[in-house]
């Protein structure tokens, strides 16, 4: 059976960045942000086991280098569309961890007022255009946003994130085809963790090197080591420059998740050796070793960063616990952006149509009977 980890063979292994790279303080900032995502996700997983988070919950554990590398290359005025594995991207777009955790808890102070939960976060100010529970649901919308930018003559770009399994749906191919035909300013990013839920890429894709699929549409593409935040940042900057010039781009990052598909998935489809290999390739630990070798990170600094990350995650959970539940009357407040005729706001159990008023004489007869 093909391996289930996201690590490519030596002949296919993506190259690491060879550029002079960011300054020491920038490298340390990458490490710090990765640590904050890790602690936030671990606290979210704990909250799920405490039944404080409802619905599904998909974590970025093990994908932190891909997250911060991509988001470091994105401009504040660019648009980001994600799938349902979105918490780290939202944090990297500057959305407060308190608001994110409150959303996971389904509370009124959440980024989507408590009605979105883990999979449907949205913040127009951060140009974070949502997570989507439907596999690939974000791709046509992101492509449409790129069309709107092109139509207006804007300089922004769109980053559309997806998992490796999403590349097998029709909307992926339709969207890439339109983007290539019309020269739209969009970068499609496939975060390849080697598994579409529990099925390996090799077992589900006739072309497992997913970045090569762009060649069907004469679209530029690349594969990058998703465990190296600097390499991801460099590749993303190249992709975005191409997109802004009217040449859409497909970027594949190889980044294995440390846990199962969701919080409740024990990942029994992995062997013990595969799980150990993923832990050994932990991007935060590996980047920490790299920064120590460069003399940028010390044990004391690493301990301080971890303490700050843990404190921030703990504070976010406390904020979420104290936040009120949304009022039922607000359930339909953000269904549409503008008023819609005949918009139904009927709650479960309520009659489809209001009961017709009864004649007063009929009511009087029943009372006096």
Q: What is the mean pLDDT of residues 108-137?
A: 93
CA separation for the pair 59, 100 (Å, rounded): 13
Q: What is the pLDDT of residues 32-74, one digit of tens each?
A: 999 999 999 999 999 999 999 988 999 999 999 999 999 999 9
| pLDDT(89) > 60 | yes
Token match 């992101």: residue? 142
| pLDDT(272) > 80 | yes
The pLDDT score that the predictor gives to residue 363 is: 58
Neighbour tally for 252: CB within 10 Å:
25
Instruction: Read off the pLDDT band of 87 (50, 70, 90).
Output: very high
Structure tokens at 279: 């832990």
The pLDDT score that the predictor gives to residue 198 is: 85
| pLDDT(115) > 70 | yes
Q: What is the pLDDT of residues 143-177, one digit of tens each?
A: 999 999 999 999 999 999 999 999 999 999 999 99
| pLDDT(360) > 80 | no
The pLDDT score that the predictor gives to residue 274 is: 87
Q: What is the mean pLDDT of residues 230-235?
A: 97
Judge whether 90 and 306 are in contact, CB under 8 Å.
no
The pLDDT score that the predictor gives to residue 367 is: 61
The pLDDT score that the predictor gives to residue 271 is: 87
Domain ranges for the chain, please list them. 21-330
| Pairing mode, strands 79-81 and 249-254 | unpaired
The pLDDT score that the predictor gives to residue 32 is: 98
CA nearest to 284, candidates 13, 7, 30: 30
Q: What is the pLDDT of residues 178-195, one digit of tens each?
A: 999 999 999 999 999 988
Q: What is the pLDDT of residues 308-334, one digit of tens each?
A: 999 999 999 999 999 999 998 888 888
Instruction: Read off the pLDDT band of 346 (50, 70, 90).
Output: confident
The pLDDT score that the predictor gives to residue 365 is: 67
- Looking at per-residue pLDDT, the higher value among 368 and 97 belongs to 97
CATH class of this structure's domain 21-330: alpha beta
Task: Please list, residue by residue across 3-41, b when 16 or more beta carbons sit within 10 angstroms of its beta carbon and e when fewer do.
Answer: bbbbbbeeeeebeebeeeebeeeebbebbbbbbbbbbbb
For 220-234, 253-267, 278-292, which range has the lowest pLDDT when averaged over its residues? 253-267
Taking each helix axis from N to C terminus, what angle separates 24-49 and 283-293, rounded to the nearest 10 degrees? 150
- Looking at per-residue pLDDT, the higher value among 197 and 368 belongs to 197
- The percentage of the chain sitting over the pLDDT mark of 70, rounded to a whole number, equals 90
Contacts of 352 (CB under 8 A, 6+ apart): 346
Contacts of 338 (CB under 8 A, 6+ apart): none
Query: What pTM value is reported for the model?
Result: 0.87
Checking 321-328 for CB contacts under 8 A at 24+ apart, the result is 321/52, 321/105, 323/102, 323/105, 323/107, 323/108, 323/109, 323/110, 323/114, 324/107, 324/108, 324/109, 325/106, 325/107, 325/108, 325/114, 326/106, 326/107, 326/108, 326/113, 326/114, 326/115, 327/108
| pLDDT(238) > 50 | yes
Q: In whole numbers, what is the pLDDT of the chain averaged over residues?
A: 90
- Looking at per-residue pLDDT, the higher value among 6 and 349 belongs to 349
Judge whether 112 and 326 are in contact, CB under 8 Å.
no
């Amino acid at each position: 059976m093909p391996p289930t980890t996201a690590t490519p063979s030596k002949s296919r292994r993506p190259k690491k960045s060879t550029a002079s790279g960011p300054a020491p303080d920038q490298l340390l900032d990458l490490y710090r942000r990765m640590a904050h995502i890790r602690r936030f996700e671990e606290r979210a997983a704990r909250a799920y086991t405490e039944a404080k988070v409802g619905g599904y919950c998909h974590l970025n554990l093990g994908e932190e280098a891909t997250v911060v590398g991509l988001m470091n290359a994105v401009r504040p005025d660019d648009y980001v569309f994600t799938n349902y594995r979105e918490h780290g991207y939202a944090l990297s777009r500057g959305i407060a961890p308190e608001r994110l955790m409150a959303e996971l808890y389904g509370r009124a102070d959440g980024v989507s007022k408590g009605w979105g939960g883990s999979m449907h976060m949205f913040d127009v100010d951060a140009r974070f255009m949502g997570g989507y529970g439907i596999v690939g649901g974000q791709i046509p919308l992101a492509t449409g946003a790129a069309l709107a930018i092109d139509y207006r003559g804007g300089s922004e770009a769109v980053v559309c994130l997806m998992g490796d399994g999403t590349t097998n749906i029709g909307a992926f191919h339709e969207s890439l085809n339109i983007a290539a035909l019309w020269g739209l300013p969009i970068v499609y990013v496939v975060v390849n963790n080697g598994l579409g839920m529990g099925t390996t890429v090799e077992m589900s894709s006739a072309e497992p090197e997913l970045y090569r699929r762009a060649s069907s549409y004469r679209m530029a593409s690349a594969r990058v080591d998703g465990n190296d935040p600097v390499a991801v940042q460099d590749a993303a900057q190249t992709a975005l420059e191409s997109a802004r010039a009217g040449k859409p781009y497909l970027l594949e990052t190889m980044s294995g998740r440390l846990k199962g598909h969701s919080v409740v998935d024990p990942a029994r489809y992995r062997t013990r050796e595969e799980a150990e290999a993923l832990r050994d390739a932990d991007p935060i630990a590996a980047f920490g070793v790299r920064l120590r070798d460069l003399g940028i990170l010390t044990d004391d600094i690493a301990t301080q960063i971890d303490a700050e990350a843990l404190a921030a995650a703990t504070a976010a959970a406390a904020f979420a616990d104290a936040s009120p539940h949304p009022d039922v009357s607000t359930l339909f407040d953000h269904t549409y952006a503008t008023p819609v005729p005949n918009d139904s706001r009927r709650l479960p159990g309520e009659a489809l149509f209001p009961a017709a008023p009864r004649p007063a004489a009929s009511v009087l007869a029943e009372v006096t009977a």
